[in-house]
Structure formats: structure tokens, C-alpha cells
Amino acid sequence: MTQSKVTIRDVAARAGVSTTTVSHVLNDVPGKRILDSTRVRVRQVATELRYTPNRLAQGLRLQRSHTIGFLSDEIATTPFAGNMVRGAQDAAGEFDSLLLLLNSGRDEGLESKEIGALLDRQVDGIVYASMYHRVLTPPAALEASRSVLLDVRSHVPLLPSVVPDEVGGAVTAVTELLSVGHRRIGFINNVDDIPATHGRLAGYRQALTAQQLPLEPQLVIAAGHDAPSGYRAATALLARSDRPTAIFCFNDQVAMGAYQAAQQLELDIPKDLSIVGFDDLTLISEGLRPGLTTVALPHYEMGRWAIHTLMALIDAIGSVPAEQVALPCPLVRRASVSSPPRL
């Protein structure tokens, strides 16, 4: 076998794994549950065959447009979105590909037209992205191309998708409070019927249950997702005679409002009240005084995952399983958590 003829399929066959696994291992795609022994074997085979991911990009894609469509509901208009685009762009660059970025403004007619325009331009594949974690039915027109869902989970799981692990993120946030001794932890949740609302509540419950603590319904408030809502909800929680010693907030904006409520009541953060947010919007989490402990959305990693998975899909001759991945939300410690006050 001459060096120039080595393909990803050769590596996959020799290693006894799928081409997707080879791509994931060699590209260090985050969030993959691949055994270390498999990783070692794939790398060994790739070395033996003198196969490199770079050759994958150069060799297998000669017939391609090197253009990937990135179709989003509302691109780049929120501070949340940016890192998904950046992750996708960086990953596309590794494959010598460019992103053709389009946004539909959630207009289904426009969406179909835009998918058509992308296909006219012979994109190698399409990333269908949402600017926040949603569950929906992707447009049928996507079936005409290789496609991956980004921050979207499909009602019908036919396409690979990546979303943040909302439940795990909430477990992380609440466990941080439990670990320093808090037992009365309030939760200001969102009211929208979206995965973040349900997942973060499930995680809050899970973390309490793991410590044999009951969920006390009077400590959970459903509010909006902005700072004024957080202010009102926190004010209500803190007015209780049995007020919580810590508050887990649906997001950093709600936490900003909780800070304002604490200030109004002359409660010191974190001495009198600990607060944990969600999202790690640095504009807020670094801007608040004291800095906000929160969990970060893995937007950059999700953007990378989408492109790497799309590339694996493009390379695959046979079918690739429609994996549904949830990437972890890591804790970002700042200064809003301490032990509860002695009552």
C-alpha cells in the first residue's frame, strides 16, 4: 500500500472501528466517550499507515467546495452565540473550509430558501444552529445535504446533534453550594418551555437528592430570565423568615438581579448569601462585585464538535449513527460562594 493511497477507511478497517471514531480520535473531538484503549489503537494504526488527519482534509476533499453552510435562527445578535460560531470557524479552518453564514430570523419560508441557496452553492454540508438550546423538528430541506444540529435536539433523532448538558451543569452548580455546607438553597428558574428550564430544575433536584435533601417547593421560584425578574424573585425568596442561605440562578442575568436584591436588603455576598449563576456571560460574571461563580456553556466546544462530526459524516461512505451528544458545562469559580452564615 503506497502512502498516498491511505484513507480514513484503511485506518478504520485496520483498527476495527468506524471512520467516525477515527476522525474523532485523530481530531481530539471533545465530549466523546471513546475508550482510552481504542484511542491508543487508532493512533497506532494511523502512525503505522502514515496517515494524518491533515491528509484526510487534503486528500479526501479534493472534489469538494470546501464551503460549509452555517444556518442559524438568529446569528451573532446575542452575546451567547459568538463562541459557537468561533468554534465552528476554527474547526472549519482545520479542514481548509470556509463557513457560509446565514440567518433565518426563525422564518420557515426564508429558512427553506436559504437552504436552497446553500445547496446551489454546493456546500459540503450544513450546520443547523440555534442560538439557545431548543428541541424542534429540523426543516425537511436539510435532508438534501449532510447536516448536523448545533444547540438543537431533534424531535426525530435522524441527525447528529450537540447541546449543553443542562442537567449536569445544574448538578455542578448546586453541588458547589452543598459542598461548602449550604442546606437551604433557593432556585430562581425560568418559565419558558425550553430544555434549559427543565434540565436545570432536574439537576437542582438531583444534586439535593444525592445529599438526601428534599426539594422544598417554597424555595423554587419561576421567574423571567432577565435581571429585573431575578431582582423580584430574589427579593421574594429573601423576605421569607426561613430564607435560603444560597441561591442558584437560572442564568447570570437573573444572578445580576439577585445581587441587586441582596444589596437592597443589605446582605453581603458571599458572607450572608451565596449565589451561583449559569452561562458564564463574562460581561456580567466578571463585571459583578464580587465576581460571580457560575457554570459555563460549552459553546466553543459545541461549535467544534458540529464541524468535526459533519466532516466525519461527509467522509463516511456508509451511514453514521445520529449521535445525540450533551457536552459538560464546567464550573467557573469566582467569589460569590462561601460557607453559610451561622444562624
Among 9, 52, 60, 82, binds a copy of itself (CB under 8 A): 82
Helix (H, G, I), strand (E, B) or coil at 181: coil
Binding mask 25-64 for a copy of itself (x = CB under 8 A): ----------------------------------------
Q: How many angstroms separate the CA atoms of 277 and 274, rounded?
A: 10
Asked if 98 is part of the footprint of a copy of itself (rule: CB under 8 A), the reply reads yes
Residue at grid coordinates 450533551 = 326
The set of residues, in sequence order, having a beta carbon less than 8 Å from that of 116 and lying 6+ positions away, is 141
Among 13, 34, 40, 76, binds a copy of itself (CB under 8 A): 76
- Span of 72-80, 142-150, 159-167, 309-317 interacting with a copy of itself by CB under 8 A: 72-80
- Residue 130 in contact with residue 150, Cβ under 8 Å? yes
Among 11, 99, 149, 326, binds a copy of itself (CB under 8 A): 99
Asked if 117 is part of the footprint of a copy of itself (rule: CB under 8 A), the reply reads yes
> How far apart are CB 106 and a copy of itself at their closest, in Å?
13
φ, ψ (nearest 5 deg) of residue 155:
-60, -40
Q: How many angstroms separate the CA atoms of 110 and 222, rounded?
A: 34
Of 219-278, binders to a copy of itself (CB under 8 A) are: 226-228, 231, 253, 256-257, 260, 263
In DSSP notation, 58-107 reads: HHHTTTS--EEEEEESSTTSSTTTHHHHHHHHHHHHHTT-EEEEEE-TT-
Asked if 100 is part of the footprint of a copy of itself (rule: CB under 8 A), the reply reads yes
Asked if 89 is part of the footprint of a copy of itself (rule: CB under 8 A), the reply reads yes
Taking the least distance from each CB to a copy of itself, the nearer of 120 and 193 is: 120
